[in-house]
Amino acid sequence: MGKSPALSGVHFMLGDVAVAEGAIAAGCTFFGGYPITPSTEVAERMALRLPQIGGIFMQMEDELASIAAVLGASWGGRKSMTATSGPGFSLMMESIGLAVMTETPAVICNVQRGAPSTGLPTLVAQGDMMQARWGSHGHYQIIALVPWSPQECFDLTVRAFNLAERYRTPVLIMADAEVAHLTERVVIPPAGEIEIWPRKRPTLPPGPGALDLDETLVAPMPAAGEGYRLMVESLTHDDRGYPDTTATTHRQLVQRLNDKIYRDRFALYDQVERVIDDAEVVVVSYGISARISARAVEIARARGIKAGLLRLRTVWPFPEERIGELSKRLAGFVVAELNLGQVSREVERVAVDGCSVATCGNAGGDILHPKEILEAIIAVDQGLAPSRSSKLARV
């Protein structure tokens, strides 16, 4: 092994750049993309850095080609990624499903901006959270991580690559235009201290049993050209990858694709809780909105309101057990997000009757103000927000 390409040290770094550096530190050597605001600096940084370390930066003609190139590079044996924003994310949806079905590790960073359509190119939103969960057709599990700072842009990108390799699945980084364009301290640890999970490779030579599943439900992955005769097939297929479009094989395959992730959800959950123990109102939030929620909770506490913060760093899979358990003893939740209520639907789904769930959000264009979240906290605290059983009051 040569010298690690990780830029170990303390930096004053842009969020987008930290995503790129996280990828480099995780061993990414292929980026295929079509630059789009507000994710452009990820591509720009990768275009600078990848050639320095023997990697490949490939600007494609559009996002359809970008994601296809990323999946191809992954089957060529490289850790690979792309970065985009809403319009490109929509175009990538079909091939994200292809990655799920063909069990292809890949990292897709979506720096969210105002939408639908081309919407607000330079301004923030968090409106793609449900698209992240369900945007491709079929029933599947997805892993989606959300950074709240440039430091987490680095940390969670490393984690995204690790999870993509471990579960052989696409992993999404659902950043937002605000966090991606903040510049802050980013500490990149010494290379030896950055945990890297390698791809599960075949240990047997090509032949029977070499690519068999084990109890992890994830089979070893060979690279193209290594002599393993494996079909990489988007149709329903058997364990060798051969098309077998029968109900029995289909149910087994889709069940396993779901199980390999959902079964392991407790290892994937990643939330940071603040002053939750005695809280009566808990703000559930993520990304930039969680930073503002932290401030709102501080102000609420200073006023004697027992508020807490549950910040999601993994949004998908959604920590339903923890939220459900909290709902039993809380007056309610405030879900702060830059959309009109997406993750709040999940909170509503798992909260028990009688626990109110208020959405504090807007359609994007600017970040929330702490005062707005504070008002929502006060409303829930005083029992003025709709309880779960009357949630139809919401948009």
Partner 1 sequence: MARASGIPDLAAVERAEIRLSGFGGQGILLAGYILGEAATLFSKRNVVMAQSYGPESRGGASQVELILAASEISYPRIESPDVVVTLSQQAYASYGLSRPHGCLLLADSDLVSIDRTVEEGQVTVLAPLTRWAEERLGKRITANIVMLAYLCDLTGLVEASELERAVARSAPRGSEELNRRAVEIGIEEAQTYLASLDGDRP
At 140, give phi and psi (nearest 5°).
-145, 165
What is the sign, positive or negative, of the torsion defined by CA atoms of 130, 132, 133, 136? positive
Q: Report the chain's terminal Cα–Cα distance, integer Å.
A: 55
Among 51, 62, 118, 122, binds partner 1 (CB under 8 A): 122
Cβ-based nearer residue to partner 1, 72 or 121: 121
Strand 143-145 relative to strand 314-316, pairing: antiparallel
159-188: contacts with partner 1 (CB under 8 A): 177-178, 181-185
β-bridge partners, 334: 283, 358
Residues in the chain, total: 395
Q: Which helix (H) or strand (E) holds 250?
A: helix 247-262
What is the sign, positive or negative, of the torsion defined by CA atoms of 94, 106, 22, 274? positive
Tell me the closest approach of the beta carbon of residue 227 to partner 1, in angstroms: 48
Applying CB under 8 A, does 292 fall inside the site for partner 1?
yes
| 1's tokens | 């092994």
The site map against partner 1 for 300-339 (x = CB under 8 A) is ----------------------------------------
Cβ-based nearer residue to partner 1, 182 or 279: 182
Tell me the closest approach of the beta carbon of residue 48 to partner 1, in angstroms: 15
Question: Residue 237 in 3-state DSSP?
Answer: strand
Among 238, 244, 298, 320, binds partner 1 (CB under 8 A): 298
Cβ-based nearer residue to partner 1, 168 or 181: 181
Q: Determine if the peptide bond prior to 38 is cis (ω within 30°).
A: yes
Q: Determine if the peptide bond prior to 116 is cis (ω within 30°).
A: yes
Applying CB under 8 A, does 294 fall inside the site for partner 1?
yes
Applying CB under 8 A, does 367 fall inside the site for partner 1?
yes
Cβ-based nearer residue to partner 1, 295 or 322: 295
Tell me the closest approach of the beta carbon of residue 183 to partner 1, in angstroms: 4
Q: Which amino acid is at 190?
A: P
Applying CB under 8 A, does 8 fall inside the site for partner 1?
no
Q: Beta-carbon neighbour count of residue 137 at 10 Å?
A: 9
Select the span of 72-80, 237-245, 288-296, 337-345 touching partner 1 (CB under 8 A).
288-296
At 335, give phi and psi (nearest 5°).
-105, 115
Cβ-based nearer residue to partner 1, 58 or 305: 305
Among 2, 3, 10, 209, binds partner 1 (CB under 8 A): 10
CA distances for 98 relative to 68, 190, 295, angstroms? 9, 36, 41
Among 1, 2, 12, 205, binds partner 1 (CB under 8 A): 12
Number of residues that bind partner 1 (CB under 8 A): 21
Tell me the closest approach of the beta carbon of residue 126 to partner 1, in angstroms: 15
The single residue listed with the structure tokens 């690559």 is 161
- Write out the residues near partner 1 by the rule CB under 8 A: 10, 12, 37-38, 121-122, 177-178, 181-185, 288, 291-292, 294-295, 298, 367, 370
